[in-house]
Amino acid sequence: MSAAVTLALLFFFSVALKEVKGCSCAPGHPQQLFCMSDIVIRAKVIGKVNSTRPQLTAYKIQTIQTFKQLDKKRIQVINTRSTQTFCGINLENGRYLLSGPVQDGRVVLDLCDRVEPWNQLSRVQKVYLSRYQRGCVCEISPCTGASCLIKILQKKCLMRVNNSFILDDEEALQSICLPGSGGFCSWRRFLK
């Protein structure tokens, strides 16, 4: 293979990897996703509506329950990145947990945000949605192997991930990281 062809292929793959990498999402505990989001709502997606931005797909929604919202303006439309982009998502009519950022006054969700059908959430996850806010002062940090065994007294809870950085900690998924006496954070379970 000629040097020019090799360079062209390397350039192509580096551009492609940047695009894919731009959409890769680090594993996150549901509490982390809650705390990083501007809005967290349970909503019914009614259907697509015309979008004012070509790179976005707009959906009319009916908010059923609000768990977190920075401003109190009623959300009637959410936007997703176009499915023609690497990060795009497509929503069907139905009930969802929608959690993500507000950009320029618009809710814009993509694959890295928490967009889950409501009926696929566990009972524990549904109950904890009303409690996560109290733990937003704590940090949840990934750990692997022996580093997960270290018990540290600080504003941090450790969450086990495997070598592929996929969340691999069922105990953490069934718990909330909350501050206790002295301001130190630890995992707590309220339900079994």
Tens of pLDDT, residue by residue, the chain (192 residues)? 444 333 333 333 333 333 334 577 776 889 999 999 999 999 999 999 998 888 889 999 999 999 999 877 889 999 998 766 678 888 999 999 999 999 888 899 998 899 999 999 989 899 999 999 999 999 998 888 777 777 766 788 888 887 655 666 778 888 999 998 887 898 998 765
For residue 164, what pLDDT is reported? 58
What predicted TM-score, i.e. pTM, was given to this entire model? 0.79
For residue 144, what pLDDT is reported? 80
β-bridge pairing 176-179 and 185-188 = antiparallel
For residue 113, what pLDDT is reported? 92
CB count in 10 Å sphere of residue 84: 8
d(CA 24, CA 27): 10
Spatial CA neighbour of 75 closest among 38, 119, 32, 120: 38
For residue 162, what pLDDT is reported? 74
Bridge partners (DSSP) of residue 183 are none
d(CA 89, CA 25): 14
Please name the amino acid found at residue 59: Y
For residue 165, what pLDDT is reported? 56
Q: How many residues make up the chain in this entry?
A: 192
Do residues 67 and 129 make contact, with C-beta atoms less than 8 angstroms apart? yes
User: What contacts 95, CB < 8 A, 6 or more positions away?
Assistant: 42, 43, 44, 45, 64, 117, 118, 119
Q: In sequence order, what DSSP letters do the residues of 8-27 get, joined into one string? A: HHHHHHHHHHHHHHHH----
For residue 159, what pLDDT is reported? 87
Go through the domains of the chain in sequence order and give each one's CATH number: 30-120 (2.40.50.120), 123-188 (no CATH)
d(CA 145, CA 191): 27
For residue 170, what pLDDT is reported? 79
Beta-carbon-side half-sphere exposure of residue 158 (alpha carbons within 13 Å): 15
d(CA 141, CA 32): 10
Spatial CA neighbour of 84 closest among 54, 112, 58: 54
For residue 82, what pLDDT is reported? 75
Do residues 70 and 102 make contact, with C-beta atoms less than 8 angstroms apart? yes
